[in-house]
Amino acid sequence: MEVKMKHLNHIDKSRFLNEIYNYESSPEKFTYIGKIPSMVVFASPHNKFCVELEPALEIIAKRRKDRYKVYYVNTAEEPEMARNFIKQRVPVIYICPIGTAPTVVSETINVRDLFSLADRLLAK
């Protein structure tokens, strides 16, 4: 039984283009257009590590909801975005502070390290 994560912001291509980065109009450089810092997680429901990472992302999203957003892109539902933003394996996490280029974390990462990195990079 799949449990819907209520604090993760599940995002599709349309919302991504309007809230995160419009790669169709500016494909050469990732420019975060959001007004609140964020983490954008590209993950697959078919990858064991991604599935195991979801509850931790939910906790981060809940605990840090006043500081930054956590967006979740399901790569099985958004294959075009997956092709554009994943170079090798999932998960891929874009940590997007306002006004600078995102930091990209790929493949496996210790949850505590992810939490610390996000807090450090997305601090107001």
Helix (H, G, I), strand (E, B) or coil at 11: coil
Kindly state whether residue 4 falls inside one of the protein's structural domains: no
Q: Within a domain: residue 2?
A: no
Question: Does the structure show a pLDDT above 80 at 83?
Answer: yes
Residue 96 lies in a domain: yes
Amino acid at 33: I
Does residue 44 belong to any structural domain of this protein?
yes
The CATH number of residue 83's host domain is: 3.40.30.10
Domain-embedded: residue 93: yes
Angle between helices 48-63 and 111-122 (to 10 degrees): 40
Per-residue pLDDT tens digits for 39-79:
999 999 999 989 888 999 999 999 999 999 999 999 999 99
Residue 20 lies in domain: 10-122
Q: For the chain, what is the domain count?
A: 1
The rounded distance, in Å, linking the Cα atoms of 76 and 62 is 24
Q: How many Å is the maximal CA-CA distance in the chain?
A: 41
pTM listed for this prediction: 0.90
Tokens of residue 105, six digits: 């974390």
Domain contains 117? yes
- Does 26 map to a domain? yes
